[in-house]
């Protein structure tokens, strides 16, 4: 069977866990060469080593996506090894402690914008020149359902994820005539380390078990459950796929109906 990403160079940020790790594995299965980054060096090295053991070509760098020099160095390393970047999956992101807006520390707001919004901007800024040179490319930014609606107790996260949608739409308009597609996915609550951390906070505050806390979170979703990571990652591969050639500028909700109401 033909592999959709055979010999394509796919850059994935936040690749040490969650969506990023699974996406790296799925793009590997589809024949891609991988440029991976994360702030968690040990976890990233473990992921990269496992992928290399399966025969995949991997460049892996410890990167804080909020730092321009680190992002630029990682992209330069990838281009030096592989010649270009065909697909950029800008996935790295953080949450913050649950808190009403008037009690949220300014430092947490700034940190969320630095990683979740500035990080996406910096990655696109470094990816785009290589795509322009190649005459084609695909960028997929990972926003959130919180980037389409409000998110109680998560105001800074929601604001930064709204910014990701704005960056996505602006870039899609700017580069569509250059054969570069730019889209975003907007997942709702999914079984990832970030949601596990949120469930722990809910559990501690409300005196609930982990399962009860996850159930409380899931109760906000019309489908009555949280997503599994593979449900989100399959959409990542579809959004970036060559056959999906007429979609750009979209913020795709993967949310069990959350934003439909």
Q: Is pLDDT at 96 greater than 80 in this prediction?
A: yes
Quick one: 6 exposed, middle or buried, by C-beta within 10 A (0-12, 13-18, 19+)?
A: exposed
Average pLDDT over the chain reads 94
> Measured between alpha carbons, how far apart are the two ends of the chain, in Å?
41
- Confirm if 38 and 14 have CB atoms less than 8 A apart: yes
- pLDDT bucket at 228, cuts 50 / 70 / 90: very high
Which element (helix H / strand E) includes 33? strand 33-38
Residue 170 and residue 66: Cα distance in Å, rounded? Answer: 20
Span of 15-19, 100-104, 217-221 with lowest mean pLDDT: 217-221
Catalytic residues: 157
Percent helix, strand and coil across the chain, each to the nearest 5:
50, 15, 30
Which element (helix H / strand E) includes 62? strand 58-62
User: Which tens digits make up the pLDDT trace of 126-150?
Assistant: 999 999 999 999 999 999 999 999 8
- 218 versus 15: the higher-pLDDT residue is 15
Q: Is pLDDT at 26 greater than 90 in this prediction?
A: yes
Span of 170-174, 216-220, 236-240 with lowest mean pLDDT: 216-220
What residue spans define the domains of the chain?
Answer: 9-188+228-253, 190-226
Q: Report the helix count and the strand count for the chain, using DSSP H and E.
A: 9, 7
**Cβ of 257: how many Cβ atoms within 10 Å?**
12
- Confirm if 254 and 187 have CB atoms less than 8 A apart: yes
**What mean pLDDT do residues 23-50 have?**
98
CB burial readout 80-116, b (16+ within 10 A) else e: eebeebbbbbbbbbbbbebeeeeebeeebbebbbbbb
User: Per CATH, which fold does 9-188+228-253 belong to?
Assistant: Rossmann fold (3.40.50)
Q: Which residues contact 229 (CB under 8 A, 6 or more apart)?
A: 18, 19, 22, 190, 191, 192
Report field, pTM of the whole predicted structure over 0.85: yes
**Cβ of 251: how many Cβ atoms within 10 Å?**
22
SS3 100: coil
What pLDDT was estimated at residue 189?
A: 86
What pLDDT was estimated at residue 1?
A: 58
In the block, which residue shows the tokens 């992101």?
Answer: 93
2 φ/ψ sector (left φ>0, alpha ψ -120 to 50, else beta): beta
- 239 versus 226: the higher-pLDDT residue is 239
Q: Is pLDDT at 2 greater than 80 in this prediction?
A: no
Distances (CA, A) of 165 to 93, 141, 228, 252: 14, 8, 23, 10
Distances (CA, A) of 209 to 202, 203, 214, 215, 216: 9, 6, 9, 10, 10
């Amino acid at each position: 069977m033909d592999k959709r990403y055979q010999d394509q160079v796919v850059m994935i940020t936040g690749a040490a866990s969650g969506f990023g790790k699974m996406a790296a594995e799925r793009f590997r299965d589809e024949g891609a060469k991988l440029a991976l980054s994360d702030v968690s060096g040990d976890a990233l090295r473990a992921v990269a080593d496992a992928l290399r053991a399966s025969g995949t070509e991997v460049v892996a760098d410890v990167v804080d996506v909020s730092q321009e020099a680190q992002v630029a160095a990682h992209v330069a390393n990838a281009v030096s090894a592989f010649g270009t970047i065909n697909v950029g999956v800008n996935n790295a992101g953080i949450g913050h402690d649950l808190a009403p807006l008037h009690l949220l520390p300014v430092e947490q707001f700034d940190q969320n914008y630095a990683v979740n919004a500035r990080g996406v901007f910096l990655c696109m800024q470094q990816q785009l020149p290589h795509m322009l040179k190649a005459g084609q490319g695909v960028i997929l930014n990972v926003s959130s359902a919180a980037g389409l609606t409000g998110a109680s107790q998560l105001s800074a996260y929601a604001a930064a994820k709204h910014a990701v949608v704005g960056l996505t739409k602006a870039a899609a308009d700017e580069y569509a005539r250059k054969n570069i597609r730019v889209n975003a996915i907007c997942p709702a609550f999914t079984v990832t380390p970030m949601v596990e951390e949120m469930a722990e906070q809910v559990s501690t505050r409300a005196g609930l078990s982990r399962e009860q806390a996850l159930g409380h979170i899931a109760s906000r979703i019309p489908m009555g459950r949280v997503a599994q990571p593979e449900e989100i990652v399959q959409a990542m591969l579809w959004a970036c796929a060559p056959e999906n050639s007429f979609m750009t500028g979209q913020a795709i909700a993967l949310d069990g109906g959350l934003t439909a109401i």
